[in-house]
Amino acid sequence: MAWLDSTEITNARKLYAQVTYEDFMQGAFADDAAIESFIDEYLLPSVESHIEAYCDRDFDAEYPSAIPGAIKDVASRAIANMLQYMVMNKMGPLVRTGDFKLEIPEQEILTPGLRALLSPWVKRTPIVKSSDYAVIDE
């Protein structure tokens, strides 16, 4: 089951990333529908995998009827990040960050802000304490 439907994919692209097919290299995408197909077939499965790996859980199995809205929102924002990185890559590998400093931009799919939004969903292993003291059975 895909986490996002076509309307949510369109919103991720148009509202969060604010990109159209014209923002990419000429010929990369024929139209907006081609971008959304690319998102649905490639980017969304990648984002789902990154989120599940970070949270150490299978959201499809745990929420078979509907993925929680907060997770869908993080997925939309991560897709927007990936689209913006694609546009940045078109401009070249270096960005100017001041008067004279050039650097390669970070391309984190799950930025620190997105990881913070996911923190309540991270599966934590319970801590079990033990001691070296012997148990006395009477």
Alpha carbon of 67 to those of 13, 55, 59, 94: distances in Å?
20, 14, 7, 37
Q: Is there a domain that residue 33 lies in?
A: yes
Q: What is the pLDDT of residues 27-60, one digit of tens each?
A: 788 888 888 888 889 999 999 999 999 999 999 9
Tokens of 123: 């599966």
Q: Is there a domain that residue 126 lies in?
A: no
Q: Is there a domain that residue 45 lies in?
A: yes
Q: What is the pLDDT of residue 58?
A: 93
Q: Report yes or no: 59 and 71 within 8 Å, Cβ to Cβ.
A: yes
Count how many residues are written for the chain.
138
Tokens of 10: 């369109």
Task: List the beta strands (DSSP E) in the chain.
Answer: 95-96, 102-103
Could you give the number of structural domains in the chain? 1
CA angle 81, 87, 90 (to 5 degrees): 140
Q: Considering the entire predicted model, what is its pTM?
A: 0.78
Q: Is there a domain that residue 128 lies in?
A: no
Residue listed under structure tokens 């148990």: 135
The one-letter amino acid at 79: I
Q: What is the pLDDT of residues 81-121, one digit of tens each?
A: 888 888 877 766 666 666 665 555 667 889 999 999 999 99
CA pair distance 37, 43, nearest whole angstrom: 9
Question: How is the chain split among helix, strand and coil, in percent rounded to 5?
Answer: 55, 5, 40
Q: Counting beta carbons within 10 angstroms of the beta carbon of residue 57, is it exposed (0 to 12), middle (13 to 18) or buried (19 or more)?
A: middle
Q: Is there a domain that residue 132 lies in?
A: no
Range of the domain at 73: 6-121
Q: What is the pLDDT of residue 137?
A: 72
Q: Is there a domain that residue 112 lies in?
A: yes
69 versus 84: the higher-pLDDT residue is: 69
Q: Is there a domain that residue 1 lies in?
A: no
Q: Is there a domain that residue 79 lies in?
A: yes
Beta bridge partners of 102: 96
